[in-house]
Amino acid sequence: MGVKTDKRNYLIKKADVNIGLFIILFSFCRMA
């Protein structure tokens, strides 16, 4: 535990943000 799990959680959070932005952009393009 410790540094390894923190790094994994950080990467997962980063991925979540990227996926969220991608979905928003995708929805925006579909609407236009």
The whole domain housing 10 covers 1-32
The per-residue pLDDT for 1 is 55
**Overall number of domains in the chain:** 1
Q: How far apart are CA 27 and CA 30, in angstroms?
A: 5
DSSP assignment, residue 27? H
Radius of gyration of the chain from its Cα atoms, rounded to whole angstroms: 14
Q: What is the pTM of this model?
A: 0.54
The pLDDT tens digits of the residues spanning 1-32 come to 578 889 999 999 999 999 999 999 999 999 87
The per-residue pLDDT for 31 is 84
